[in-house]
Amino acid sequence: MAETKDVFGQEPHPVEDDLYKEPTRKRRKSDRDQRFRAFPSMEQSALKEYEKLESRTRRVLSNTYQKLIQSVFLDDSIPNGVKYLINRLLALIEKPTVDPIYIGLFGSTGAGKSSLINAIIQQAMFLPVSGESICTSCIVQVSSGCCVQYEAKIHLLSDQEWREELKNLTKLLHRTEELGREEADAWNRDEAVEEATWKLQMIYGNGAESKNYEELLRAKPKRKIPTSRVITLKAEEAEELSIKLDPYIRTQRRDWDGEAAEMRIWPLIKHVEVTLPKSDLIPEGVVLVDIPGTGDFNSKRDEMWKKTIDKCSVIWVISDIERVSGGRAHEDLLNESIKACQRGFCRDVALVVTKMDKLHLPEYLRERKVGNQAIQSQREAVLERNEMIKLQRTRILKEKLKRKLPADFKVLEASDLVYTVSAQEYWQQALLTEEETEIPKLREYIRKSLLDKKKRTVTKYVTEAFGLLLLTDSFNSTQNLPNEHLHMSVLRRFAEEKVELLEKAIAQCFACMEQPLQEGVRTARTSYRCILRACLVRSKGNQGFHQTLKAVCLKNGIYASRTLARIDLNEALTQPIYDQIDPVFGSIFRTGKPTGSALMPHIDAFKHSLQEKMTEIGIRSGWKYDSCKKNFLIQEISAILGGLEDHILRRKRRIYESLTASVQSDLKLCYEEAAQITGKKACERMKDAIRRGVDWQVAEGMFERAQERMQHQFQQLKAGIVEKVKGSITTMLALASSQGDGLYKELADVGSEYKEMEKLHRSLREVAENARLRKGMQEFLLRASPSKAGPPGTSL
């Protein structure tokens, strides 16, 4: 059965195979203008200028592409240089305008994630909300697009993925002996047993929990499952779609018998994508993701949970006012978010404290310890408490981030690390104004993030396109400069020397990990028994923990449910190592001034040294009469090395998780042995099996192997970087020096396209200056505007 495409997966375009493909048609002007409805007029103007600049660049590239295709269409073979150009042009033409910005709302049960999304998109009850229990049962992402209707796509587990979960669920419920009354009661109270029983009953009906795997494979689900594994819902109005969507994503109570047919398939739901029509509040290109706080028992859903977190460039940790001041769940969420900064694409973390309208005035006044001014109303108390919470939690969060991240990490410079919001007051405004609920502030953050990304992306895009047009135009030049090959040979040797220096610099960067890894391993060896004891002990003893522990073993040390805190024995055992390496690991992958441990600044320094040498050789060799060659080389080296960052970010996650992956692999047989244990005192015997297995693996060098595997991953990354740099620079210099060597034929004249591209490249500065002027004007007007009063009825 065909599996649905991963929610964030994007297949790269195979340009080599589609040499003669027609470029994608551009979006109509009216559609482009609609995309900016969520922005104020000044920001709209800036976006339209960047959009126009990008559109004109794509048009120039498209015209150039068509001319090149026509010039080689009848040829038996296409010269290598021309093929290179055509593929590069098509890749740039098909390059996405801006990759979506994923903003993850990451929080525990009942923290108010869905309510917050509803307020941001201005739809009060769009996603299910409840003050009593879990509402959203899976990952839900919400975005706006060019569709005319409200649309939801419900992605289900594939047949193979459900078979895997079904096998684990039946193993979890399998009993080989009769239990006494107390043991049976403890079994039935086990959270993992309850969860597994409920899932099977929802799909196959009552009694399914007593059937084995083979019997359930033959059983017919109570609701027909679409073969496409995707259910699409559409509606003209938000309320209509909300009603249709509700049964699929709302967590149902286990004691409720009146469920609709749609509710029967929630255990099969992998994730849900909701697309709104063009929005006045959420711009196209931003995806809000409601992420459950603990992951999932199903391997595929749990993998998606982690990948979703890692794909987010922004994470808002959602915690309500009553739980923000402590508790393991809140700390776990913060730690997971900080890890996303280390291993994923996350560049910004903030704490969003919800339900800030909740305050018991007499209790607050009795415990109030700050300020001499008397509190006269509930509103004043709420505002004072909110400001105090913001100051306290900002200080605590910043200290936590400083311990884990490099000192110059961007999030540490953020002006807003904590937001105090109230979705209820946003709608009612009984105590707070709309601005004081801070919902508009979050929307402003969203708009600014997209605007900044658009500026960076278009600037990079136009610059890369300009370099490509420089090369294309230079191909038709017939000028042969004296000592051309000699100068290119000098440049080639210089590049080879610099690559060797770069390789040594990368090795020095990665060598910085050796000492913290060793210290972490020593700490892990001395503390692992205490860590394991804490993971395996429950306040009520083994009561209700037997099958939960079995679930941990069935999933190789990990158990995630929608109600309990996430259990990950592998991560817990390696945490002492991560505590030691986190600051150094973050320093290696940061950007900023070149240091001994930072990787990207060394690559940037390598780029600049090559560009300076190119300029120097160009002046000596007479390239001032052939500026295209010099400019092409300078622009192309930026494009080549710029692509390395994505490669490094993709490998970063694998490197970071290699410690836990190594420990999990070494303990696999231990977990399998423990999962097979049944009978009397099975829970204690399972714990003993885990302890023995961990003891044996530690004695055999489990932590040392994890260290070696991480270091091996670093060596592979170094080798990959050097290989890509060498290959790309060799290709680039061959293209630049082979003019007149018979590798190229005379191409169609692209002089007019080059001149237009040159103008577009120059206009980048003008567009950026216009944007700065508008921003300054907007800030001036905001400072000059009168402050807003409180909501009606709050004056004294």
Give the pLDDT of residue 791.
Answer: 63
- Of the options 3.40.50.2300, 3.40.30.10, 3.40.50.720, 3.40.50.300, the CATH number for the domain spanning 99-156+235-367+375-436: 3.40.50.300
Are 508 and 596 in contact, with CB atoms under 8 Å apart? yes
d(C-alpha 107, C-alpha 113), whole Å: 7
Using one digit for the tens of pLDDT, what is the confidence trace for 554-586? 999 998 876 677 889 999 999 999 999 998 898
Using one digit for the tens of pLDDT, what is the confidence trace for 250-289? 766 555 454 555 566 888 988 999 999 988 888 888 999 9
Are 450 and 432 in contact, with CB atoms under 8 Å apart? no
Percentage of the chain exceeding pLDDT 70 = 80
- Three-state secondary structure of 310-350: HHCCEEEEEEECCCCCCCHHHHHHHHHHHHHHHHCCCCEEE
- Lowest mean pLDDT of 295-299, 465-469, 648-652, name the range: 295-299
Return the structure tokens found at 676.
Answer: 């097979």
- Three-state secondary structure of 51-92: HHHHHHHHHHHHHHHHHHHHHHCCCCCCCHHHHHHHHHHHHH
Q: Residue 413 class from Cβ within 10 Å (0-12 exposed, 13-18 middle, 19+ buried)? A: exposed
d(C-alpha 366, C-alpha 369), whole Å: 9
What would the mean pLDDT of 39-65 be, rounded to a whole number?
Answer: 89
Return the structure tokens found at 33.
Answer: 């203008």
Are 121 and 241 in contact, with CB atoms under 8 Å apart? no
- Lowest mean pLDDT of 139-148, 384-393, 651-660, name the range: 139-148
What would the mean pLDDT of 778-795 be, rounded to a whole number?
Answer: 60
- Lowest mean pLDDT of 174-183, 234-243, 460-469, 510-519, name the range: 174-183
Give the pLDDT of residue 115.
Answer: 92
**Residue limits of CATH 3.40.50.300 in the chain:** 99-156+235-367+375-436
Q: Give the Cβ contact number of residue 135 at 10 Å.
A: 20
Give the pLDDT of residue 13.
Answer: 36
pLDDT over threshold 70, residue 535: yes
Q: Which residues pair with 314 in a beta bridge?
A: 103, 348
Give the pLDDT of residue 25.
Answer: 47
What would the mean pLDDT of 215-243 be, rounded to a whole number?
Answer: 91
pLDDT band at 178; cut points 50, 70, 90: low
As a whole number of Å, the end-to-end CA separation of the chain is 67
- With H, G, I as helix, E, B as strand and everything else as coil, classify residue 676: coil
Highest mean pLDDT pick, 12-16, 310-314, 602-606: 310-314
What would the mean pLDDT of 161-181 be, rounded to a whole number?
Answer: 78
Give the pLDDT of residue 782.
Answer: 66
CATH of segment(s) 483-733 = 1.20.120
Q: What are residue 289's phi and psi, to 5 degrees?
A: -120, 115
What would the mean pLDDT of 126-144 be, rounded to a whole number?
Answer: 75
What would the mean pLDDT of 28-46 be, rounded to a whole number?
Answer: 71
Closest to 297 (Cα-Cα) out of 119, 113, 454, 168: 168
Using one digit for the tens of pLDDT, what is the confidence trace for 611-623? 888 777 766 665 5
Give the pLDDT of residue 315.
Answer: 94
- With H, G, I as helix, E, B as strand and everything else as coil, classify residue 524: helix
pLDDT over threshold 70, residue 641: yes
Using one digit for the tens of pLDDT, what is the confidence trace for 716-734? 999 999 988 888 788 777 7
Q: Which residues pair with 231 in a beta bridge?
A: 154
Give the pLDDT of residue 662.
Answer: 97
Give the pLDDT of residue 154.
Answer: 94
Are β-strands 139-144 and 269-276 bridged in parallel, bridged antiparallel, or unpaired?
Answer: parallel
Give the pLDDT of residue 626.
Answer: 53
More confident call, 539 vs 366: 366
Count of residues making up the chain: 796
**Residue limits of CATH 1.20.120 in the chain:** 483-733
Highest mean pLDDT pick, 56-60, 453-457, 640-644: 56-60
Return the structure tokens found at 727.
Answer: 């290959």
Closest to 502 (Cα-Cα) out of 408, 343, 641, 634: 641
Average pLDDT, the chain: 81
Percentage of the chain exceeding pLDDT 90 = 35
d(C-alpha 608, C-alpha 631), whole Å: 13
pLDDT band at 230; cut points 50, 70, 90: very high
More confident call, 47 vs 10: 47
Using one digit for the tens of pLDDT, what is the confidence trace for 5-30? 332 233 333 334 444 454 554 455 55
More confident call, 470 vs 386: 386
Q: What is the pTM of this model?
A: 0.84
pLDDT over threshold 60, residue 552: yes
Chain centre distance of CA 390 = 26
- Lowest mean pLDDT of 157-166, 331-340, 737-746, name the range: 737-746
d(C-alpha 99, C-alpha 103), whole Å: 13
pLDDT over threshold 50, residue 740: no
Give the pLDDT of residue 563.
Answer: 67
Q: Which string of b and e fits 305-331 if b means at least 16 CB within 10 Å?
A: bbbbbbbbbbbbbbbbbebbeeeebbe
Give the pLDDT of residue 771.
Answer: 73
pLDDT over threshold 90, residue 443: yes
CA distances for 71 relative to 75, 79, 201, 466, 745, angstroms: 8, 12, 66, 21, 9
Q: Which residues pair with 484 in a beta bridge?
A: none
CA distances for 595 relative to 511, 512, 513, 606, angstroms: 13, 11, 14, 14
pLDDT over threshold 70, residue 459: yes
Tokens 């047919």, residue? 261
Give the pLDDT of residue 2.
Answer: 38
